[in-house]
Structure 1
Amino acid sequence: MSLQVEQEAGLITQAESGSKPAFAALYELYLAEIYRYVYYRVMDHMEAEDLIEKVFIKAWESLTRPRPNRQPLQNFRAWLYRIARNTVIDHQRMARHAVSIEDIDRLQVNHPGLQEQVEQDERAQQLAQALSQLDEISREVLLLRFVNQLSHADAATVMGISENHMRVLQYRALKKMKVLLNA
Protein backbone atom coordinates (compact mmCIF):
# COMPACT_ATOMS: atom_id res chain seq x y z
CA MET A 1 0.00 0.00 0.00
CA SER A 2 1.45 3.39 -0.97
CA LEU A 3 2.01 6.15 1.54
CA GLN A 4 -0.74 8.30 -0.03
CA VAL A 5 -3.27 5.45 0.14
CA GLU A 6 -2.32 4.78 3.79
CA GLN A 7 -2.67 8.48 4.66
CA GLU A 8 -6.05 8.66 2.91
CA ALA A 9 -7.23 5.53 4.74
CA GLY A 10 -6.16 7.10 8.01
CA LEU A 11 -8.02 10.31 7.21
CA ILE A 12 -11.15 8.34 6.33
CA THR A 13 -10.98 6.40 9.59
CA GLN A 14 -10.51 9.62 11.55
CA ALA A 15 -13.37 11.33 9.66
CA GLU A 16 -15.64 8.36 10.41
CA SER A 17 -14.85 8.96 14.08
CA GLY A 18 -15.98 12.58 13.73
CA SER A 19 -12.66 14.32 13.12
CA LYS A 20 -13.43 17.58 11.33
CA PRO A 21 -9.74 18.27 10.48
CA ALA A 22 -9.48 14.83 8.83
CA PHE A 23 -12.61 15.47 6.78
CA ALA A 24 -11.29 18.93 5.89
CA ALA A 25 -8.13 17.28 4.53
CA LEU A 26 -10.25 14.87 2.44
CA TYR A 27 -12.32 17.83 1.25
CA GLU A 28 -9.19 19.66 0.09
CA LEU A 29 -7.92 16.52 -1.59
CA TYR A 30 -11.05 15.93 -3.68
CA LEU A 31 -12.73 19.32 -4.02
CA ALA A 32 -11.27 20.33 -7.40
CA GLU A 33 -12.03 17.10 -9.24
CA ILE A 34 -15.51 16.65 -7.77
CA TYR A 35 -16.27 20.30 -8.55
CA ARG A 36 -15.11 19.80 -12.14
CA TYR A 37 -17.37 16.77 -12.50
CA VAL A 38 -20.40 18.61 -11.09
CA TYR A 39 -19.68 21.72 -13.13
CA TYR A 40 -19.56 19.77 -16.39
CA ARG A 41 -22.90 18.21 -15.52
CA VAL A 42 -24.69 21.51 -14.75
CA MET A 43 -22.55 24.05 -16.68
CA ASP A 44 -23.13 26.83 -14.16
CA HIS A 45 -20.56 27.90 -11.58
CA MET A 46 -23.02 29.07 -8.93
CA GLU A 47 -25.13 25.94 -9.29
CA ALA A 48 -22.02 23.75 -9.14
CA GLU A 49 -20.84 25.47 -5.98
CA ASP A 50 -24.22 24.92 -4.32
CA LEU A 51 -24.23 21.27 -5.34
CA ILE A 52 -20.65 20.72 -4.16
CA GLU A 53 -21.66 22.00 -0.75
CA LYS A 54 -24.50 19.46 -0.68
CA VAL A 55 -22.18 16.67 -1.84
CA PHE A 56 -19.69 17.20 0.95
CA ILE A 57 -22.41 17.71 3.58
CA LYS A 58 -23.94 14.38 2.52
CA ALA A 59 -20.51 12.74 2.63
CA TRP A 60 -19.83 14.10 6.13
CA GLU A 61 -23.25 13.04 7.40
CA SER A 62 -22.87 9.58 5.93
CA LEU A 63 -19.34 9.10 7.26
CA THR A 64 -20.22 10.15 10.79
CA ARG A 65 -23.61 8.43 11.02
CA PRO A 66 -23.32 5.57 13.51
CA ARG A 67 -24.17 2.23 11.92
CA PRO A 68 -23.69 -1.24 13.29
CA ASN A 69 -21.38 -3.49 11.27
CA ARG A 70 -20.08 -0.58 9.17
CA GLN A 71 -18.01 -1.84 6.27
CA PRO A 72 -14.88 0.22 5.53
CA LEU A 73 -15.03 2.23 2.32
CA GLN A 74 -13.19 0.38 -0.42
CA ASN A 75 -12.89 3.39 -2.72
CA PHE A 76 -13.52 6.80 -1.16
CA ARG A 77 -13.03 8.63 -4.46
CA ALA A 78 -15.63 6.55 -6.31
CA TRP A 79 -17.97 6.88 -3.31
CA LEU A 80 -17.70 10.69 -3.50
CA TYR A 81 -18.36 10.64 -7.24
CA ARG A 82 -21.42 8.48 -6.59
CA ILE A 83 -22.74 11.03 -4.09
CA ALA A 84 -22.01 13.83 -6.58
CA ARG A 85 -23.76 11.97 -9.39
CA ASN A 86 -26.85 11.30 -7.28
CA THR A 87 -26.91 14.90 -6.04
CA VAL A 88 -26.79 16.23 -9.61
CA ILE A 89 -29.50 13.81 -10.74
CA ASP A 90 -31.73 14.84 -7.83
CA HIS A 91 -31.10 18.50 -8.60
CA GLN A 92 -31.90 18.05 -12.29
CA ARG A 93 -35.11 16.22 -11.46
CA MET A 94 -36.13 19.08 -9.22
CA ALA A 95 -35.08 21.78 -11.68
CA ARG A 96 -36.55 19.97 -14.72
CA HIS A 97 -34.25 21.61 -17.22
CA ALA A 98 -31.82 20.27 -19.78
CA VAL A 99 -28.10 20.40 -19.13
CA SER A 100 -26.24 22.58 -21.61
CA ILE A 101 -22.57 22.05 -22.32
CA GLU A 102 -21.99 25.18 -24.41
CA ASP A 103 -19.69 26.82 -21.85
CA ILE A 104 -17.24 23.92 -21.56
CA ASP A 105 -14.25 26.13 -22.32
CA ARG A 106 -14.66 28.17 -19.09
CA LEU A 107 -12.44 25.81 -17.12
CA GLN A 108 -9.18 26.44 -18.94
CA VAL A 109 -6.47 25.29 -16.56
CA ASN A 110 -3.38 26.48 -18.38
CA HIS A 111 -2.86 29.81 -20.14
CA PRO A 112 -1.00 29.20 -23.39
CA GLY A 113 -0.16 31.92 -25.91
CA LEU A 114 -2.94 33.74 -27.76
CA GLN A 115 -2.81 31.56 -30.90
CA GLU A 116 -2.78 28.38 -28.84
CA GLN A 117 -5.63 29.74 -26.69
CA VAL A 118 -7.75 30.43 -29.77
CA GLU A 119 -7.10 26.94 -31.13
CA GLN A 120 -7.79 25.40 -27.74
CA ASP A 121 -11.05 27.36 -27.47
CA GLU A 122 -12.14 26.20 -30.92
CA ARG A 123 -11.43 22.55 -30.03
CA ALA A 124 -13.28 22.98 -26.73
CA GLN A 125 -16.28 24.46 -28.55
CA GLN A 126 -16.29 21.59 -31.05
CA LEU A 127 -16.13 19.06 -28.22
CA ALA A 128 -18.82 20.90 -26.25
CA GLN A 129 -21.09 20.95 -29.28
CA ALA A 130 -20.56 17.24 -29.89
CA LEU A 131 -21.04 16.41 -26.19
CA SER A 132 -24.29 18.38 -26.07
CA GLN A 133 -25.66 16.20 -28.87
CA LEU A 134 -24.99 12.96 -26.99
CA ASP A 135 -27.54 11.25 -24.77
CA GLU A 136 -27.10 11.75 -21.01
CA ILE A 137 -25.52 8.32 -20.38
CA SER A 138 -22.92 8.69 -23.16
CA ARG A 139 -22.07 12.21 -22.03
CA GLU A 140 -21.64 11.09 -18.42
CA VAL A 141 -19.42 8.15 -19.42
CA LEU A 142 -17.10 10.45 -21.37
CA LEU A 143 -17.01 13.05 -18.60
CA LEU A 144 -16.16 10.46 -15.95
CA ARG A 145 -13.56 8.67 -18.04
CA PHE A 146 -11.82 11.50 -19.90
CA VAL A 147 -12.54 14.80 -18.15
CA ASN A 148 -12.30 13.44 -14.61
CA GLN A 149 -9.95 10.60 -15.60
CA LEU A 150 -11.62 7.91 -13.53
CA SER A 151 -10.66 4.31 -14.23
CA HIS A 152 -13.18 1.98 -15.82
CA ALA A 153 -13.79 0.39 -12.43
CA ASP A 154 -14.29 3.70 -10.61
CA ALA A 155 -16.56 5.12 -13.34
CA ALA A 156 -18.60 1.90 -13.28
CA THR A 157 -18.94 2.18 -9.50
CA VAL A 158 -20.12 5.79 -9.81
CA MET A 159 -22.75 4.83 -12.36
CA GLY A 160 -23.78 1.64 -10.59
CA ILE A 161 -22.94 -0.68 -13.49
CA SER A 162 -20.40 -3.41 -14.17
CA GLU A 163 -16.93 -2.58 -15.44
CA ASN A 164 -17.62 -4.48 -18.68
CA HIS A 165 -20.81 -2.51 -19.22
CA MET A 166 -18.80 0.71 -18.66
CA ARG A 167 -16.35 -0.37 -21.37
CA VAL A 168 -19.21 -1.06 -23.78
CA LEU A 169 -20.84 2.30 -23.04
CA GLN A 170 -17.49 4.06 -23.48
CA TYR A 171 -16.92 2.36 -26.83
CA ARG A 172 -20.39 3.38 -28.03
CA ALA A 173 -20.01 6.94 -26.74
CA LEU A 174 -16.64 7.36 -28.45
CA LYS A 175 -18.11 5.99 -31.66
CA LYS A 176 -20.95 8.53 -31.46
CA MET A 177 -18.46 11.34 -30.74
CA LYS A 178 -16.38 10.35 -33.74
CA VAL A 179 -19.43 10.57 -35.98
CA LEU A 180 -20.41 13.95 -34.52
CA LEU A 181 -16.91 15.39 -34.82
CA ASN A 182 -16.51 14.22 -38.39
CA ALA A 183 -19.90 15.55 -39.49
Structure 2
Amino acid sequence: MLEEQIIKKIREEETRNYGFNLLVREYQERVYWHVRKMVIDHDDADDLVQEIFVKVWKNLSKFREDSKLYTWVYRIATNECLNFLRKKKRRFFVPIHDLEGELTEKLTQNIAPTGDEVQMKLQKALLKLPDKQRLVFNMKYFDDMKFADIAEITGTSVGALKASYHHAVKKIEDLINTD
Protein backbone atom coordinates (compact mmCIF):
# COMPACT_ATOMS: atom_id res chain seq x y z
CA MET A 1 0.00 0.00 0.00
CA LEU A 2 1.26 3.45 -0.81
CA GLU A 3 2.38 5.68 2.02
CA GLU A 4 -0.08 8.40 0.99
CA GLN A 5 -3.00 5.98 1.32
CA ILE A 6 -1.91 4.94 4.81
CA ILE A 7 -1.56 8.58 5.86
CA LYS A 8 -4.99 9.39 4.45
CA LYS A 9 -6.56 6.53 6.45
CA ILE A 10 -4.74 7.63 9.62
CA ARG A 11 -5.87 11.24 9.23
CA GLU A 12 -9.56 10.35 9.01
CA GLU A 13 -11.15 9.63 12.40
CA GLU A 14 -13.34 6.76 11.19
CA THR A 15 -10.45 4.93 9.47
CA ARG A 16 -7.63 5.75 11.93
CA ASN A 17 -7.48 2.24 13.47
CA TYR A 18 -7.53 0.63 10.04
CA GLY A 19 -4.82 3.01 8.83
CA PHE A 20 -2.66 2.21 11.85
CA ASN A 21 -3.11 -1.53 11.21
CA LEU A 22 -1.96 -0.96 7.63
CA LEU A 23 1.03 1.01 8.90
CA VAL A 24 1.99 -1.82 11.28
CA ARG A 25 1.62 -4.44 8.54
CA GLU A 26 3.71 -2.34 6.17
CA TYR A 27 6.60 -1.59 8.54
CA GLN A 28 6.59 -4.18 11.33
CA GLU A 29 9.03 -6.64 9.77
CA ARG A 30 11.48 -3.94 8.63
CA VAL A 31 11.36 -2.23 12.01
CA TYR A 32 11.89 -5.59 13.77
CA TRP A 33 15.06 -6.32 11.79
CA HIS A 34 16.28 -2.75 12.20
CA VAL A 35 15.90 -3.13 15.96
CA ARG A 36 17.18 -6.71 16.09
CA LYS A 37 20.45 -5.75 14.40
CA MET A 38 21.04 -3.27 17.19
CA VAL A 39 19.90 -5.20 20.28
CA ILE A 40 20.68 -8.71 18.94
CA ASP A 41 18.28 -10.55 21.27
CA HIS A 42 14.92 -11.61 19.76
CA ASP A 43 12.91 -11.06 22.96
CA ASP A 44 14.37 -7.58 23.48
CA ALA A 45 13.69 -6.73 19.83
CA ASP A 46 10.13 -8.03 20.07
CA ASP A 47 9.42 -5.96 23.19
CA LEU A 48 11.00 -2.87 21.66
CA VAL A 49 8.98 -3.19 18.44
CA GLN A 50 5.78 -3.26 20.49
CA GLU A 51 6.90 -0.17 22.41
CA ILE A 52 7.83 1.56 19.16
CA PHE A 53 4.42 1.03 17.61
CA VAL A 54 2.69 2.16 20.81
CA LYS A 55 4.78 5.34 20.58
CA VAL A 56 3.91 5.69 16.88
CA TRP A 57 0.19 5.34 17.72
CA LYS A 58 0.38 7.93 20.51
CA ASN A 59 2.23 10.40 18.27
CA LEU A 60 0.32 9.99 14.99
CA SER A 61 -1.23 13.42 15.41
CA LYS A 62 2.28 14.92 15.61
CA PHE A 63 3.33 13.50 12.23
CA ARG A 64 3.58 16.65 10.11
CA GLU A 65 4.18 14.98 6.75
CA ASP A 66 7.32 17.05 6.22
CA SER A 67 9.16 13.73 6.07
CA LYS A 68 8.30 10.31 4.71
CA LEU A 69 6.20 8.13 6.98
CA TYR A 70 8.78 5.33 7.01
CA THR A 71 11.62 7.70 7.99
CA TRP A 72 9.45 9.06 10.81
CA VAL A 73 8.75 5.51 12.05
CA TYR A 74 12.45 4.59 11.68
CA ARG A 75 13.45 7.69 13.64
CA ILE A 76 11.24 6.60 16.52
CA ALA A 77 12.65 3.06 16.25
CA THR A 78 16.22 4.34 16.14
CA ASN A 79 15.75 6.56 19.18
CA GLU A 80 14.11 3.72 21.10
CA CYS A 81 17.02 1.39 20.25
CA LEU A 82 19.64 3.87 21.37
CA ASN A 83 17.68 4.63 24.56
CA PHE A 84 17.31 0.90 25.26
CA LEU A 85 21.06 0.31 24.88
CA ARG A 86 21.87 3.33 27.07
CA LYS A 87 19.46 2.16 29.79
CA LYS A 88 20.84 -1.36 29.63
CA LYS A 89 24.38 -0.07 30.16
CA ARG A 90 23.27 2.14 33.06
CA ARG A 91 20.90 -0.36 34.69
CA PHE A 92 23.52 -3.05 34.99
CA PHE A 93 26.42 -0.62 35.41
CA VAL A 94 27.95 -2.50 32.52
CA PRO A 95 31.07 -1.06 30.92
CA ILE A 96 30.82 -0.92 27.13
CA HIS A 97 33.12 -3.90 26.63
CA ASP A 98 30.94 -6.05 28.93
CA LEU A 99 27.77 -5.16 27.04
CA GLU A 100 29.61 -6.00 23.83
CA GLY A 101 30.50 -9.40 25.36
CA GLU A 102 26.90 -10.01 26.41
CA LEU A 103 25.59 -9.14 22.93
CA THR A 104 28.30 -11.28 21.32
CA GLU A 105 27.23 -14.23 23.48
CA LYS A 106 23.59 -13.73 22.47
CA LEU A 107 24.64 -13.42 18.84
CA THR A 108 26.52 -16.72 19.06
CA GLN A 109 23.50 -18.40 20.66
CA ASN A 110 21.05 -16.98 18.09
CA ILE A 111 23.02 -17.78 14.96
CA ALA A 112 21.29 -20.16 12.62
CA PRO A 113 23.09 -23.47 12.06
CA THR A 114 23.68 -22.43 8.45
CA GLY A 115 25.27 -19.10 9.47
CA ASP A 116 28.70 -18.93 7.92
CA GLU A 117 31.92 -17.87 9.59
CA VAL A 118 32.28 -14.63 7.63
CA GLN A 119 28.82 -13.47 8.67
CA MET A 120 29.63 -14.26 12.30
CA LYS A 121 32.92 -12.29 12.05
CA LEU A 122 31.02 -9.35 10.57
CA GLN A 123 28.39 -9.42 13.30
CA LYS A 124 31.03 -9.62 16.05
CA ALA A 125 32.96 -6.74 14.46
CA LEU A 126 29.76 -4.67 14.32
CA LEU A 127 29.29 -5.12 18.07
CA LYS A 128 32.65 -3.42 18.64
CA LEU A 129 31.45 -0.22 16.92
CA PRO A 130 29.87 2.65 18.88
CA ASP A 131 26.06 2.33 18.81
CA LYS A 132 25.46 5.25 16.46
CA GLN A 133 28.17 4.12 14.04
CA ARG A 134 26.72 0.60 14.05
CA LEU A 135 23.30 2.07 13.40
CA VAL A 136 24.52 4.03 10.37
CA PHE A 137 26.36 0.99 9.03
CA ASN A 138 23.30 -1.24 9.45
CA MET A 139 20.97 1.20 7.71
CA LYS A 140 23.34 1.76 4.78
CA TYR A 141 24.83 -1.71 4.34
CA PHE A 142 21.98 -4.05 5.31
CA ASP A 143 18.91 -1.89 4.67
CA ASP A 144 20.41 -0.18 1.59
CA MET A 145 19.02 3.18 2.72
CA LYS A 146 20.05 6.42 1.07
CA PHE A 147 22.21 8.77 3.13
CA ALA A 148 19.49 11.44 2.78
CA ASP A 149 16.95 9.12 4.44
CA ILE A 150 19.41 8.12 7.17
CA ALA A 151 20.09 11.84 7.76
CA GLU A 152 16.37 12.46 8.17
CA ILE A 153 16.05 9.54 10.61
CA THR A 154 19.08 10.38 12.72
CA GLY A 155 19.00 14.16 12.47
CA THR A 156 22.61 14.12 11.26
CA SER A 157 24.09 15.76 8.17
CA VAL A 158 24.75 13.63 5.09
CA GLY A 159 28.43 14.54 5.23
CA ALA A 160 28.75 13.38 8.85
CA LEU A 161 26.92 10.16 8.00
CA LYS A 162 29.22 9.43 5.07
CA ALA A 163 32.23 9.98 7.32
CA SER A 164 30.72 7.79 10.04
CA TYR A 165 29.96 5.03 7.53
CA HIS A 166 33.49 5.25 6.10
CA HIS A 167 35.01 4.98 9.60
CA ALA A 168 32.73 2.04 10.42
CA VAL A 169 33.74 0.20 7.24
CA LYS A 170 37.43 0.81 8.00
CA LYS A 171 37.07 -0.42 11.60
CA ILE A 172 35.16 -3.51 10.47
CA GLU A 173 37.78 -4.31 7.85
CA ASP A 174 40.54 -3.96 10.46
CA LEU A 175 38.65 -6.10 12.99
CA ILE A 176 37.88 -8.84 10.50
CA ASN A 177 41.45 -8.91 9.21
CA THR A 178 42.92 -9.17 12.72
CA ASP A 179 40.70 -12.13 13.70
TM over 0.5: yes
User: What is the CA deviation profile of residues 3-42 of structure 1, one whole-angstrom value per residue up to 9, with x for unaligned ones?
Assistant: x6xx311211221334111111111111111100111111
Q: For residue 76 of structure 2, what is the aligned residue in structure 1?
A: 83
Q: Equivalent residue of 1:56, what SS? A: helix
Structure whose residues are more often helix by fraction: 2
Q: For residue 163 of structure 1, what is the aligned residue in structure 2?
A: 158
Q: Return the offset for 1:73.
A: 4.2
Q: Which moved more, 1:88-97 or 1:30-39?
A: 88-97
Q: Return the offset for 1:150.
A: 1.6
User: What is the CA deviation profile of residues 111-163 of structure 1, one whole-angstrom value per residue up to 9, with x for unaligned ones?
Assistant: xxx9xx3xx42122111121122222221111111122221111122221011
Question: Is there any run of 5+ residues in structure 1 with no aligned partner, and where?
Answer: 109-113
Counterparts of 2:86 and 2:172, CA distance in 1: 26
8 Å contact kept, 2:137–2:165: yes
Counterparts of 1:131 and 1:90, CA distance in 2: 18
8 Å contact kept, 2:82–2:131: no
| Within-5 A mapping of 1:125-164 | 125-164=120-159
8 Å contact kept, 2:52–2:77: yes
- The one of 17, 23, 30 equivalent to 1:20 is 17
Identity of aligned residues (%): 26
Task: Report the AA paired with residue 87 of structure 2.
Answer: M
Name the TM-score, length of structure 1 as normaliser: 0.79
- The one of 74, 80, 94 equivalent to 2:67 is 74
Task: Report the AA paired with residue 53 of structure 2.
Answer: F
From the superposition, tell whether residues 25 and 101 of structure 1 become closer, same or farther in structure 2 (CA, over 3 Å). Answer: farther
Q: Would you say how many aligned residue pairs link Structure 1 and Structure 2?
A: 165
Counterparts of 1:20 and 1:182, CA distance in 2: 50
Q: Equivalent residue of 2:116, what SS? A: helix
| Within-5 A mapping of 1:45-56 | 45-56=42-53
8 Å contact kept, 1:38–1:84: yes
8 Å contact kept, 1:41–1:88: yes
Q: Equivalent residue of 2:129, what SS? A: coil
Question: Is there any run of 5+ residues in structure 2 with no aligned partner, and where?
Answer: none
Q: Return the offset for 1:106.
A: 4.2
State yes or no: 1:122 paired with 2:120. no
Name the TM-score, length of structure 2 as normaliser: 0.81
Task: Report the AA paired with residue 52 of structure 1.
Answer: V
Q: What RMSD in Å do the two structures reach over aligned CA positions?
A: 2.3
